Amino acid sequence: MRIELQQISKRFGQVLANDQVSMTVEAGSIHGLLGENGAGKSTIVKVLSGFISRDSGDVLFDGRPANVKTPADAIRSGVGMLHQDPLDFPPLSVLDNFMVGRGEVLSKGVFSGLKFVNPDRARQEFRRLTETFNFSLNPNDRVSDLTVGERQQLEIIRLLSLGVKTLILDEPTTGISADQKTALFDASRQLASEGKSVIFVSHKLEDVEELCDRVTVMRAGKVVGNVTIPCPDSVLIDLIFGKELALPMKPITRQSEPMLELNNVVVKDDRLTLNMGNFTAYKGEVIGLAGLEGSGQQLLLLVCAGLIKAAAGTVSIDDLNLTQKPYAEYLNHGIGYSPADRLKDGLIRGLSIHEHVILRNPNRKLMIDWKETHQRAMEAIATFNIRGKPDSHVERLSGGNQQRTQLALLPVPLNLLLMEHPTRGLDIESTLWVWQQLIARCQTGTTILFMSSDLDEIMQYSDRVLVFSGGQVSAPIETSKLTAEKLGQMIGGRFVEAEPASI
């Protein structure tokens, strides 16, 4: 299906998110949409998919004007959107979620008000689509047990089963494994070969260059260029940022004193058991946690943050044994946690940046000094370059600005900083800026443990790397002795010879 956006504008209060945006997506193509955080990418695709109403401009599907006011309107017209955080119902099964949006109840003999449901037929269609795109999904699994990549796969086949002809992918490669990314790209190419169109929203140049035929670049709510792929990185970077970007060099920040010590720690959840053995991280050190999603990295971060308890062993911070202590004790001893799911675990929907700053304040009094806390919110917005105002609700910020807000709320100083995908959803410039801030913390003695699906990020910023594979953990490896190829092999389970008794 051919998509035409003509002079689309959208304003949120005083912020002009889309300013006369025009873009054409041809049938049978994969069209990239690039831009830094807050450039207006998500707004324009949400207008197209019916999640946001436009203030002015026209939308045409195959040359015909379209009146898209809701997501249901868009899907009926053949447009579906996969969001950064897939829209699903975690307590329900995969098959239940597959049927969402049809006006059907997946229960034999139950009438939904529209028609009877045939569960066997639904299961057959589910199986056909998963086999077509080589997705490995069990219809009986709970969605809450799926990785981000698997949830994306479920949402894609659900949308396709509803007859979608144009599929919008909003930052889809963030937080998924290399294999899941390959499956996603293969599925996108297959859809294009069938005459469908794919709009690929991203800030990752390498992904756009690998997948897309053509790219529209946005900056500050406007279209600043349309480029045919392939093209030099320098051309795209100049369009996105209007300047060249220099990669920061990580200085040596690791000190000789231990900060985090794990002694024979065992962590369990419903899916796996993680045996950490003995492990020490030093003051100022950055430890990268590499592996497929769900391989145990998050379990390690959660137990070090005091959010879950170790089944065995001891956790010590700066020579203080915190094992089995309440979460508040971990906070009091300078341990900070930054989760990947910003709106579920890191921020609170419905609250403003100002209100988050108030909640963060460890010296809360009976009466709130609104003037003083408003000033601190303004300072946080300026320091972290958040594109919002103190009264901006966090759910209305772009994904990148939500991440900046979450980082702005971390206490200073910290002994130990634990992070899930610290640059998730951030553009190149924002990623470089975040790591400048993190390196500055390391220079004051903060130890950082972070998990990331971006192997380049792991290689560039880690002093040492732990590799996770199905609950197994490698011995820590000096990054200087590691290559991206070797790291990829280890993630697949081919661990190098090591001494696991003392890691």
Q: How many CA atoms does the CB half-sphere of 341 hold within 13 Å?
A: 10
pLDDT of residue 229: 92
Which of 25-34, 35-44, 373-382 bottoms out in mean pLDDT, i.e. has the lowest? 35-44
* 159 neighbors 75 (Cβ within 8 angstroms): yes
Q: What is the pLDDT of residues 246-295, one digit of tens each?
A: 666 788 999 999 999 999 999 988 778 888 889 999 999 999 998 877 78
Q: Which of 407, 306, 314 is nearest to 356 (CA)?
A: 407
Q: How confident is the model at residue 497 (pLDDT cuts 50, 70, 90)?
A: very low
Query: What's the CA gap between 49 and 188, in Å, rounded?
Result: 18
Higher local confidence (pLDDT), 214 or 116? 214
Task: Return the pLDDT at 101.
Answer: 62
Tell me the two tokens of residue 246: 């220099």
Q: What percent of the chain has pLDDT over 70?
A: 91
Q: Is the pLDDT of residue 470 over 80?
A: no
Model confidence at 244: pLDDT above 80:
no
Please give the pLDDT value at position 108.
38
Structure confidence at residue 189 (pLDDT): 94
- Which of 85-99, 265-279, 353-367 comes out lowest in average pLDDT? 353-367
Single-letter residue type at 41: K
Quote the tokens at residue 186: 């293969």
Question: Identity (one letter) of the amino acid at 253?
Answer: T
Check whether 115 has a pLDDT greater than 60: no
**Confidence at 146, pLDDT banded by 50, 70, 90:** confident
The model's pTM is 0.66
Does residue 149 surpass a pLDDT of 90?
Answer: no
pLDDT digits (tens, 9 = 90+) for 49-71: 999 999 999 999 999 999 899 99
**Strand 416-420 with 273-282, pairing:** unpaired
* List of long-range contacts for 452-457, beta carbons under 8 Å, 24+ apart: 452/288, 452/289, 452/290, 452/421, 452/422, 452/423, 453/174, 453/175, 453/176, 453/177, 453/178, 453/293, 453/421, 454/423, 455/178, 455/290, 455/484, 455/487, 455/488, 456/484, 457/288, 457/423, 457/431
Q: Which residue has the higher pLDDT, 262 or 145?
A: 262
* Over residues 128-142, mean pLDDT: 91
Instruction: Among 52-61, 438-447, 473-482, name the one with the lowest average pLDDT.
Output: 473-482
Confidence of residue 337 (pLDDT cuts 50, 70, 90): very high
Predicted pLDDT of residue 492: 65
pLDDT of residue 112: 42
Question: Where residue 2 falls among pLDDT bands split at 50, 70, 90?
Answer: very high
Cβ-proximal residues to 475 (8 Å cutoff; 6+ apart), any chain: 498, 499, 500, 503
The CA distance from 481 to 80, in Å, is 45
Tell me what pLDDT residue 498 has: 41
pLDDT at 104: 43
